[in-house]
Structure 1
């Protein structure tokens, strides 16, 4: 795992290219503390910078930027190619210089071409590849978006890198804020690709290649989650027991490949279904106790450590459990904005950071169960969204739109004011009936299941826009047509939409930034290409058995861990945001959400947000989710201004 940055001058000349790219890469030292490298070709206007976290081939032969054996290609590469040994065998004979997966990737590109080489890779990666012969820069990203890659037009140059902080160090970078993207963030709590918080900048979509030559920009997919799901939907025809056998085999293979490293490897263990299965499959393939890690919190409703302890004892792992006090957790909150580098409001970011810090004390690589819920039906929305959409479809669309229009005619402010007046007569909690009516109108107006899912993820529903003047940036929730084979299974359609947006742009972002902030590599076995393909081929009934999610995954887990040790309501990696805002974070929030400060910045609706903060602070109304989004936006602004 590493970090890289670079630029290609097209109509500009970056001063002292080598020094500039070194400065850009230096911002990524947390992603790669073990080695650094830089290279520039002044005649071509290209510069590549690199920071290395040594995982495979710890010798200098793994140094980057790396050239191909034929001298045509130069690469910087962040991630892992787990099947590099298989690809190396296919590429024989070849005079290998070392044992790194980077060298294998380069030779695969030289022999097979970029898209064929990437399609052959089982891994997580972001790549910048310079073709000396054609003078083309290629940027590429892994299938599901485990590894980040940003790029921007910067005053006659194209700049790129693993994190935005590297791009900001280029003298041509335009840091103007994209108000439309900020509005998306306030709605979702994360910014979906290709958008970023900066108007000039884009995230490279997962599974794609961007080729840049002069003024030409050619973006194309080499893999598509939607296309794979559409092609595979309903294709598995075996029994559930046969499905469990096959899934067990695929996961053992995926876990085994992701255990390969020349440094210590461990596993995140919460004691839930996904992490327990990861720990079990690792221990089954290890001759010594696997090192497992968990953190515990003082507040019982947020503490999974007792469950992790029981599973670890059953499996015989070498278990590390660290208790985190509230003061220690709160001390990290102001640093989150710098770590994530653009606004990000998933509250699970905080405990994930704390767990990564604990884990890095003992190992350099950790396996995680991320992705299982999205592939195997672990969330309640995979039942509720299809159910709610079926109910809406019973009412003809024109009638729904008419009803939504009528509700939209009811002004929210007077209704809210009448409800607020009740506070003068002894009512302690404030209600907002105007907002509730507007929210109902939005639901009735939903024209597709994707739009309904987008509403599920949205905050600020039925309320005034928190970013005045912002437009509506396009997302996968906007009702674009889904393939019929996917739409035929509404639960699958919801899972695939999550694989296109929530999984890469929230879950993978959370895991990558949290672990990389402490130079820890996280590996996600559930996101192996073969596992994803198999999940999409399964009947929904194998994933969701009545009210039980991840049914076939549980079948596999029970082969290794007794069900009584892991069967319990899903807890999730949550933190008590509302209580913290009323307590230890109150002064911090007071400063960030002051009406004067919001007015000076001119980005968020100062009156709206300051009023919500007064409501929340007084206990009249909980706005913890909406305010957390606002606080993360404000905290991020502090890091760049």
Structure 2
């Protein structure tokens, strides 16, 4: 797990001043505190900040050339099947025991595209083909690791952090905001790949590889795309697939532990890991708030599987104390305030460990969100023409035959799914950015027109969560863990687990008991029925109270009294009025206010206002 910066110049332009490059690379030093190396060639430069996980010697440092010297590589992440690939392709004469060593040998044997297809892991990779003078950029199947890039007339810059791109001299003086992506950010709290808030700066999509050469259009190729089958139902076969994934992800040359919450996902991962690693330690964050605390439930889980547990008790003051500190590590506009407890537990975990296992991805792959079930159960309403449907929904609600307003307010089911994901009502968003629609890519993510059968609907709901909301979760976990040089591995997002999960559907999908039922059943192999907590939980903070209390003065200062970033595109008066109305308790949208606050905190921190 590391951070890199790549600069690829077109023509005879050459690379930028070395001091500037070093300053930009230093922005991601927290991602890789163990070693920094820069390799400068005539028309490209590779910089790497290393977090040493496998082969802690200098032989594991990057950038690295392939044995033939054709490919020059920087690679952030982990390849979990590297030992199997070494054996399968009979890779000999390796100079280190790292997964990077296997990768560079594979490039010589298979080439870039075919090498990517056989990898199983989480990664962002930049490869310069010195023979064809081409730059390849590739990102893992689920989008766990970040990869930003910018394209200018002078060349391409790729990096682990957004601010390493827009601060680069090729872009810094010509930044042009995109109102459609700003609107998406204010509604949903993050930037959805492949776009960013700036023209000509992008994100590589999950499972995508780009090929870039001077004078040619960027060639985009998906080497992996999540696909679903509609005939199979979940069976116990997910168990060996998940167990194998956990085992693969326990390989580490530095201390490794597991996060343990009071829910389903991380306790399941922890139990499987304990079977393979008897001295496994688990980390739990316990907050001084009865309704939000998972400490006692997690303690029960730890006791059942016999795992050594560290429970870190924090109070409200501890969380509030790191709000400003945690904003420093965003590098991009991001508005999920569960980033605060995530930042704090990562900080605590890093004291003794460098690698952690998490349960992220379980909700998206195994239908853990109640909103998925609600949309599925109300899908029939959308078969009725909208003008007829509206009075029928009103009447059905009045007669207590149903209890839903989604089919009343939204013409298409995809709009309703989008509305449930957003944290600001569309009427308010439309006021923030007049005459601005979402990007085409974002609208495609919420296009449910082809989901005509019940199986199609289930599949589309899951893919929407996988390529939508889950991306925001992954941004949060990556940024907040890497702020401390902590690697978080995600067994549910192992390629084999993804493929296995997406090939199956729930046998029944009608009630709350059907949500994540396959994982709840699997829990019985490790925990007693009475100990399992079936209630949906997660990191949470009382943000409404915080914004009206401790944080109010800072919100007023950075939002209401500071020049608003992007004011030439944004209706500044409408945004500020939205915040003022919140403080007057005319609405309770703490999420929406946080998105606005986080936007300004990022812009101020980057010196943009």
Structures share a fold, TM > 0.5? yes
Please, which moves more after superposition, 300-309 or 20-29?
Answer: 20-29
The CA distance in 2 between the partners of 1:451 and 1:579, in whole Å, is 30
Match of residue 307, structure 1, among 293, 297, 302: 297
Deviation per CA, 1:573-604: give whole Å up to 9, x if none: 11111000111111111112216744994454
Q: Check if 1:489 corresponds to 2:478.
A: no
The CA distance in 1 between the partners of 2:354 and 2:509, in whole Å, is 33
TM-score by length of 2: 0.91
Q: Check if 1:499 corresponds to 2:466.
A: yes
In the TM superposition, residue 477 of structure 1 has moved relative to its aligned partner by 4.1
Would the aligned equivalents of 1:167 and 1:173 in 2 still touch at CA under 8 Å?
yes
Q: Check if 1:254 corresponds to 2:255.
A: no
In the TM superposition, residue 619 of structure 1 has moved relative to its aligned partner by 3.2
The CA distance in 2 between the partners of 1:52 and 1:599, in whole Å, is 33
The alignment of Structure 1 onto Structure 2 pairs a total of residues equal to 590
In the TM superposition, residue 20 of structure 1 has moved relative to its aligned partner by 4.0
The CA distance in 2 between the partners of 1:375 and 1:600, in whole Å, is 37
Question: Which residue in the other structure is 2:124 paired with?
Answer: 126
Please, which moves more after superposition, 556-565 or 587-596?
Answer: 587-596
In the TM superposition, residue 557 of structure 1 has moved relative to its aligned partner by 1.1
Per the alignment, in what secondary structure is the counterpart of residue 238 of structure 2?
Answer: helix
In the TM superposition, residue 259 of structure 1 has moved relative to its aligned partner by 0.6
Question: Which residue in the other structure is 1:436 paired with?
Answer: none
Per the alignment, in what secondary structure is the counterpart of residue 260 of structure 1?
Answer: coil
Per the alignment, in what secondary structure is the counterpart of residue 490 of structure 1?
Answer: helix
Match of residue 148, structure 1, among 146, 149, 164: 146
The CA distance in 2 between the partners of 1:111 and 1:483, in whole Å, is 40
Cα gap change, 1:83/1:15 in structure 2, threshold over 3 Å: closer, same or farther?
A: closer
Would the aligned equivalents of 2:263 and 2:536 in 1 still touch at CA under 8 Å?
yes
Alignment of 1:445-524 (within 5 A): 445-446=411-412, 449-458=413-422, 459-463=424-428, 464-468=430-434, 470-478=436-444, 480=447, 488-504=455-471, 506-524=472-490
CA RMSD, aligned part only? 2.4
Cα gap change, 1:490/1:456 in structure 2, threshold over 3 Å: closer, same or farther?
A: same
The CA distance in 1 between the partners of 2:565 and 2:152, in whole Å, is 29
In the TM superposition, residue 616 of structure 1 has moved relative to its aligned partner by 2.4
Question: Which residue in the other structure is 2:224 paired with?
Answer: 223
Question: Which residue in the other structure is 1:233 paired with?
Answer: 230
Q: Check if 1:561 corresponds to 2:527.
A: yes
The CA distance in 1 between the partners of 2:499 and 2:558, in whole Å, is 45
The CA distance in 2 between the partners of 1:190 and 1:549, in whole Å, is 26
The CA distance in 2 between the partners of 1:70 and 1:17, in whole Å, is 29
Q: Check if 1:296 corresponds to 2:286.
A: yes
Question: Which residue in the other structure is 1:416 paired with?
Answer: none
Question: Which residue in the other structure is 1:286 paired with?
Answer: 277
Alignment of 1:26-37 (within 5 A): 26-37=26-37
The CA distance in 1 between the partners of 2:9 and 2:64, in whole Å, is 20
Question: Which residue in the other structure is 1:414 paired with?
Answer: none
Question: Which residue in the other structure is 1:269 paired with?
Answer: 260
Per the alignment, in what secondary structure is the counterpart of residue 360 of structure 2?
Answer: coil
Deviation per CA, 1:145-202: give whole Å up to 9, x if none: 0001000023412111000122234211243332221111011111111111222200
Per the alignment, in what secondary structure is the counterpart of residue 462 of structure 1?
Answer: helix
Q: Check if 1:534 corresponds to 2:534.
A: no
Question: Which residue in the other structure is 1:361 paired with?
Answer: 351
The CA distance in 1 between the partners of 2:148 and 2:517, in whole Å, is 37
The CA distance in 1 between the partners of 2:452 and 2:221, in whole Å, is 23
Q: Check if 1:55 corresponds to 2:45.
A: no
Name whichever structure is richer in helix by fraction: 1
Q: Check if 1:581 corresponds to 2:571.
A: no
In the TM superposition, residue 612 of structure 1 has moved relative to its aligned partner by 2.9
Would the aligned equivalents of 1:544 and 1:551 in 2 still touch at CA under 8 Å?
no
The CA distance in 1 between the partners of 2:41 and 2:263, in whole Å, is 51
The CA distance in 1 between the partners of 2:349 and 2:367, in whole Å, is 28
Question: Which residue in the other structure is 2:396 paired with?
Answer: none
Match of residue 171, structure 1, among 161, 164, 169: 169
In the TM superposition, residue 110 of structure 1 has moved relative to its aligned partner by 1.3
Per the alignment, in what secondary structure is the counterpart of residue 198 of structure 1?
Answer: coil
Cα gap change, 1:233/1:529 in structure 2, threshold over 3 Å: closer, same or farther?
A: farther
In the TM superposition, residue 543 of structure 1 has moved relative to its aligned partner by 7.2
The CA distance in 1 between the partners of 2:165 and 2:25, in whole Å, is 9
Would the aligned equivalents of 2:286 and 2:293 in 1 still touch at CA under 8 Å?
yes
The CA distance in 1 between the partners of 2:209 and 2:566, in whole Å, is 41
Would the aligned equivalents of 2:179 and 2:436 in 1 still touch at CA under 8 Å?
yes
Would the aligned equivalents of 2:377 and 2:510 in 1 still touch at CA under 8 Å?
no
In the TM superposition, residue 540 of structure 1 has moved relative to its aligned partner by 1.9
The CA distance in 2 between the partners of 1:295 and 1:52, in whole Å, is 28
Would the aligned equivalents of 2:364 and 2:470 in 1 still touch at CA under 8 Å?
yes
Would the aligned equivalents of 2:9 and 2:15 in 1 still touch at CA under 8 Å?
no
| Unpaired stretches in structure 1, ≥5 consecutive residues | 405-438
The CA distance in 1 between the partners of 2:289 and 2:215, in whole Å, is 56
